[in-house]
Amino acid sequence: RFQACVYFASVFQAMSCGIHYLASVFMAVTPNFVCGIPGNVSSVLFYNSSESSIEDIWTLWTSTENYIVVQLENGEIWELNQCSRSKREVSLDLAYEYKGNKSKFSCSDGFLYDDTKWKSTVVTQWDLVCDREWLAKLIQPTFMLGVLIGAVIFGDIADRLGRQRVIWFTSAGQFVFGIAVAFTFDYYSFVIVRFLLAMVSSGYLVVAFVYVTEFVGIKARTWASMHVHAFFAVGIMVVALVGYLVRTWWVYQIFLSIATLPFVLCCWMLPETPLWLLSEGRYEDAQKVINIMARWNKVSTPCKVSELCSVQQDDLVRTGDNDTSSTKKHNILDLFCNWHIARRTITVWLIWFTGSLGYYVFSLSSVSLGGNEYLNLFLIGAVELPCYIIACIGMDKLGRRNTLIPFLILSALICVLIMFLPQDFNVLIILANMAGKFSIGVAFGLIYLYTAELYPTIVRSLAVGSGSMMCRVGSVVAPFCVYLRSVWIFMPLLLVGIMALLSGILTIMLPETLGKPLTNTLVEATEIGRNKKSCSGKTPAHSGAALEKIEMFGQEAVSTEK
């Protein structure tokens, strides 16, 4: 009961991470626009359609190559393009086609935007179009850069100061910075506050993975850690719903930020994890938390820290002579100590990068698929919920590698399939993109645990941490990959498909870890899959009571996002 309450309270806030990660898909959208008008308009002409105002023309607008002809009250006739405007030298009659002389001017009077869908976005607020368009395209990459830095900083702080304090700070930070974004006064303050928001959002997600992993028992750990992703996906669905209901960007941002306010108000009630308290030598505080857990769970004889410490001390004495390598300081070069480990590291890094790249390319591109962009994003988020269930079942029944390979290759094949679908078949395209997000989501969720099992104890955290860094690099690259649609509409899918196919092929060379004990040395890790006897080492026998305590509070709690 206690672990369930802590788990659902913690992962509820993970929704806010999904919310802020994908908020820009509607907040930074660029509507149709043309140059501003240097006077009052008397009539508007668009091809054969004549209207009294430009607002009536937007429903007919089909291409960025279009232009609008307007006649001012003083008789002047202007052609309005997206990034320039031209004044006709001869203003005899109002006609769309004109072969005479024209004087070209810049858009010194600002721009006119189509507000039929979005009343206001950050693009229309600060005119992030034409020669300032690159500023709009930097909004999501700079956010993802903050995600990368936040994961590194707060992961380290959580090890030093504890998980509880970081959860408090990052939860409050998400709310404060989320509200602050709505009240920024210019583009640069907007980007800076969003960068800080990205850091605390990423920091929360990293520490939440560690936090729930250290509280949840071994039997439920795989499912519990995997379904933190599911709450992230619910956050994406919330973005679609709020985007549909609210069309002004700063109001939209406020509603998104207050979505998880209940957790901010009660997060101070969450306790520190006993595992971290034990690692810091705070045995009395750890005992207090254990006693609270025992009362909630109605356990009459709670675990005694003194007994647990004596069991662990016995283990250290028993294995101390054979584990001198664990006292050595290890660095990133240990992940390339020999050809087998180096090949494994390169493959794992590529899978992390590809999973993140594909995840965000499918998510960010969903609003450009045609049809209802709000429904598209909602479905892209909803399809993740069953994919993590499939991933858990596949990992337990088929194995880690045997689940990862087909879904990576399947995502590559789906990318190719989408390229051959007729562009006017919107429903098929949306379904294919959902299938692509599903398959890449299975691979993306699976790689966390698989990485932890592929490496020995002495470099396990280093391996997962470096993989997580490659994941962040993929998330930074993803927005730029999506922008390549302007070069060729299928360019993002082509890149994701190539990376997924390459990752799937290289994964064949990785060993299967299902049912095998975690390794402790690089020699043992190298032998996984090569010599079954060397990987089937037996764990020392313990008394039943001591084993239960070690399973509950032991050091095998793998922090999947650290």
Q: Give residue limits of the domains in the chain.
A: 1-30+120-270, 33-116, 276-311, 333-527
pLDDT given at position 538: 39
Q: DSSP string covering 278-322, please?
A: HHTT-HHHHHHHHHHHHHHTT-SSPPPHHHHHHHHHHHHHHHGGG
Q: Sign (positive/negative) of CA torsion 391, 395, 397, 403?
A: positive
Classify each residue of 174-203 as buried b or exposed e, where b means 16 or more C-beta atoms within 10 Å of its C-beta: bbbbbbbbbebeebeebbbbbbbbbbbbbb
| Separation of alpha carbons 69 and 47, rounded Å | 9
Is the CB of residue 253 less than 8 Å from the CB of residue 181?
A: yes
Please tell me if the domain spanning 1-30+120-270 has the same topology as the one spanning 333-527. yes
CA distances to 195, 557, 562 from 442, in Å: 29, 22, 20
pLDDT given at position 20: 92
| Separation of alpha carbons 533 and 535, rounded Å | 5
Question: What is the phi/psi pair of residue 84, to 5°?
Answer: -160, 170
Instruction: Indicate yes or no: pTM above 0.85.
Output: no
CATH of 1-30+120-270, one of 1.20.120.80, 3.40.1010.10, 1.20.1250.20, 3.40.50.720: 1.20.1250.20
Q: What is the pLDDT along the chain (562 residues), one digit of tens a residue?
A: 888 888 888 888 888 898 999 999 899 888 889 888 877 888 888 877 777 677 777 877 777 677 888 888 888 888 888 888 988 887 667 787 888 888 888 888 889 898 888 899 999 999 999 889 999 999 989 998 998 888 878 877 887 888 888 888 999 999 999 999 999 989 999 999 999 999 999 888 888 877 887 788 767 777 777 788 888 899 999 999 999 999 999 999 999 999 878 888 877 888 888 878 887 788 888 888 888 888 888 887 767 777 666 655 555 455 444 444 444 566 778 888 888 888 999 999 999 999 999 999 998 888 888 778 899 899 988 998 888 888 888 888 888 899 999 999 999 999 999 998 888 888 898 899 999 999 998 888 888 778 878 888 677 767 877 888 888 899 889 989 988 888 888 999 999 999 999 999 999 999 888 877 777 778 888 887 665 443 333 333 333 333 334 334 433 333 334 3
| Separation of alpha carbons 337 and 462, rounded Å | 14
CATH class of 333-527: mainly alpha
Residue 17 makes CB contacts below 8 A (sequence gap 6+) with 174, 201, 202, 204, 205, 232, 235
Q: Label residue 546 exposed, middle or buried (CB < 10 Å: 0-12, 13-18, 19+).
A: middle
| Separation of alpha carbons 58 and 68, rounded Å | 10
Is the CB of residue 203 less than 8 Å from the CB of residue 548?
A: no
- 104 - beta bridge partners? 86
Question: What is the phi/psi pair of residue 125, to 5°?
Answer: -65, -40
